[in-house]
Structure 1
């Protein structure tokens, strides 16, 4: 499996709090723990040529992980469209935290993907609502994070095909924090935690969920369908 971790990598350059938590960047931290299970893990960032997402790179990527926040509009429309097409062709996509507002995710969902939010250092409890799903393997009844950014309903996404996690926040809100979708031949997993000023991606339980998500979205045997004008399989009677 070839995994590519994409990150806009802007907060790390501008905010010492973020660079202290993630000295190798959020992408580096995620690639680091994914490298424990997969040999072929690479990274790409916004300021690289073609955002690091050339045709060649995308063609060889089985699973793409996307993290973005403050620079969604800096992603070129044609690059976002290429990523969308690769998902339709079968590339797996894991969308993390504020990448709910990325051009790629909004293109695939067809909605605004808007929500409520608040930064107040509050506790988050991610309840497992589908304990039989492969993405929750090794997870208990819930994951508790001491401090996280709040995301609250209503989350303007299509009804998920599978709801995996439901978050409760100390301030009282709830949020659909783990959801899956299928688009074309590709599978998409949205996972909410991961605000840049908190060490969320150093949490072993969060790492485990992302590892499971990568395995789940990886397309191993989805058949490629043929569309358009088709010849009959049987002889058609002209009577």
Structure 2
């Protein structure tokens, strides 16, 4: 099983009675519980957990997959911490930005684009269609996931072309959105998953919880060889004398 760190801004739940009624112990607590059900080793961290937001070097070094939920305080995440997360992803840590984490510093740094989109908050129905049914993140999911009340995100979503697109959303208002996007960055795997607005109990939906569990297993680093970089000795015997080198 994977070692997972579930990161959450944890501001809305403490500042809004509406959000607190949905997630009284925080969004991170509900996500963490879903992942523990699958046997993963889970810790949580939040924005106000010290100067490193709970994401010290030692915590990240002990993390196989980091999930990230943020919305109102992206700018309060220290650049040094965002860079630390970015570097750990390149080194092989899985990264799952959720919902409004499309604007998080680690995700925009990994994507290299604005990650902007359309949005509307009108408690409308969303259907997440499985467009890559053979992908392991879709294991155990039917042809689509239907959520009765969601915040709309619409195209264009300013992200690079995903390596794999697992879900495409349709909303009652007519928009569509790339809602389950897979990437490789360095040695790490990234899965952006759209559902999860703070005023709706989306992380209590069993299909959404199954996607999160699947995504953790997909994003966790494997046991492959560590790549070697830099000047390399030959594998086969060759003449390595060359006076033209400038190195």
Corresponding residue number in structure 2 for 1:180: 182
Find the counterpart in structure 1 of residue 114 from structure 2: 112
Matched, 1:189 2:203: no
Q: Distance in 2 between matches of 1:170 and 1:191?
A: 19
Moved over 6 A (4+): none
1-side partners of 2:58 and 2:236: how far apart? 41
Structure 1 residue 95 displacement after superposition: 1.0
Q: Greater shift after overlay, 95-104 or 37-46?
A: 37-46
Q: How does 1:69-218 map to 2 (within 5 A)?
A: 69-218=71-220
User: What is the DSSP-based 3-state SS (H/G/I as helix, E as strand, rest coil) of the residue aligned with 1:31?
Assistant: helix
Q: Is the 8 A contact 1:89 1:184 kept in 2?
A: yes
Aligned partner of 1:228 in structure 2 is 230
Q: How far, CA to CA, are the matches of 2:101 and 2:223 in structure 1?
A: 27
* C-alpha displacement of 1:39: 4.6
TM-score normalised according to structure 1 size:
0.98
Give the Cα separation in 1 of the matches to 2:12 and 2:43. Answer: 20
Cα offsets for 1:25-76 (capped at 9, x unmatched): 0001101111111251110000001100011111000111000001000000
Higher mean C-alpha displacement, 218-227 vs 47-56: 218-227
- 1:72-106 per-position Cα deviation (integer Å, ceiling 9, x unaligned): 00000000000000000101111100000000000
Whole-angstrom CA distance in 1 between matches of 2:191 and 2:91: 16
Which residue matches 1:5?
A: 6
RMSD: 1.2
Cα distance in 2 for residues equivalent to 1:198 and 1:113: 23
* Aligned-partner Cα distance in 1 for 2:151–2:37: 28
Normalising by structure 2, we get a TM-score of 0.94
Q: For 1:116 and 1:174, locate their aligned partners in 2 and report how far apart those are by CA, in whole Å.
A: 10
Gaps of 5+ in 1: none
Matched, 1:41 2:16: no
The structure with more radius of gyration: 2
Distance in 1 (alpha carbons) for counterparts of 2:40 and 2:139: 21
TM-superposition CA deviations, 1:143-170 (whole Å, max 9, x none): 0000100000000100000000000000
Task: Give the 3-state SS of the residue equivalent to 1:51 in structure 2.
Answer: coil
Contact persistence 1:115–1:152 (CA under 8 A):
yes
Does the alignment pair 1:17 with 2:26? no
